[in-house]
């Protein structure tokens, strides 16, 4: 039986650690029949080492999503490698340290602007850079952390994720005519590199111990990766502008 991504060509960002959702997305995508290509920044060599643990070899491209030159050449590089794209995975987020860890009221705008550019605007800029390769439609999937709430220590990444979620809805509106679906996975906390950069991450993550209906494992990114792969597949042909929660059900529980 062929996989649900058989014949699909997918670009995946954010593979920095074996423990990341992006790595497990890449692994599952290959297992489900996709041809993939990875992007990395600021250390492509790190991603190249991690990529060796995937089932099949894959090319790694240096891509800073805030660099117009990098974005401008992306379609040519990916086109030479894969010929086109059927899916794009946005697993990119960053905020300077002074925008996290309880410093919300004192964070300067320059740091907020960086967080917004890298974590939210890049969903649009990455998608537009890949658009020439998606002539037959396709699926764009991003990763968010539920922006309905103010989380401990998360500070300006919260508004950045809210902007990401709004950006996804507007992209779904404007790209639907080209048969491109735009959706997000809202994942529970995972002990990834992104998590390690958040001061007091354990305080935030501890909420899942008491409120999530389904037991949540901080060390298991595979459920979120499965969600991404499902949205990349043809099994959600008329779903766009959506946020699918893979968080053990915590989003549904008030207290």
Q: Which of 8, 161, 170, 196 is catalytic?
A: 161
Length of the chain as a residue count: 255
Q: Is 154 a catalytic residue?
A: yes
Q: Which of 154, 170, 177, 238 is catalytic?
A: 154
Q: Is 170 a catalytic residue?
A: no
Q: How far apart are the first and last CA of the chain?
A: 43
Conformational region of residue 189, where left means phi above 0, alpha means psi within -120 to 50, and beta covers everything else: beta
Determine the Cα–Cα distance for residues 213 and 7; give it in Å rounded to an integer: 36
Q: What is the DSSP string of 28-60?
A: HHHHTT-EEEEEESS-HHHHHHHHTTSSS---E
Report whether 6 contacts 33 (CB < 8 A): yes
The catalytic residues are 154, 161
């Amino acid at each position: 039986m062929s996989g649900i991504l058989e014949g699909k060509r997918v670009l995946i960002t954010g593979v920095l650690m074996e423990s990341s959702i992006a790595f497990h997305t890449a692994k599952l995508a290959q297992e489900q029949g996709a041809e993939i290509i990875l992007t990395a920044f600021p250390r492509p060599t790190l991603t190249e080492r991690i990529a060796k643990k995937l089932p099949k070899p894959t090319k790694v491209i240096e891509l800073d999503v805030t660099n117009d030159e990098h974005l401008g050449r992306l379609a040519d590089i990916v086109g030479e490698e894969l010929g086109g794209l059927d899916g794009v995975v946005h697993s990119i987020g960053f905020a300077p340290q002074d925008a996290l860890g309880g410093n919300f009221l004192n964070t300067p705008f320059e740091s907020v602007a960086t967080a917004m550019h890298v974590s939210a605007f890049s969903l649009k800029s990455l998608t537009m850079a890949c658009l020439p390769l998606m002539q037959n439609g396709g699926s764009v999937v991003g990763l968010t952390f539920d922006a309905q709430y103010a989380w401990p220590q998360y500070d300006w990444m919260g508004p950045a994720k809210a902007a990401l979620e709004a950006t996804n809805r507007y992209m779904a509106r404007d790209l639907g005519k080209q048969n491109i679906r735009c959706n997000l996975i809202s994942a529970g906390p995972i002990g990834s590199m992104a998590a390690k950069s958040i001061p007091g991450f354990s305080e935030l993550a501890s909420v899942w111990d008491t409120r999530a209906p389904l037991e949540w494992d901080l060390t298991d990114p595979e459920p979120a990766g499965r969600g991404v792969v499902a949205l990349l597949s043809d099994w959600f042909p008329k779903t766009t502008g959506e946020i699918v929660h893979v968080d053990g059900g915590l989003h549904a529980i008030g207290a």
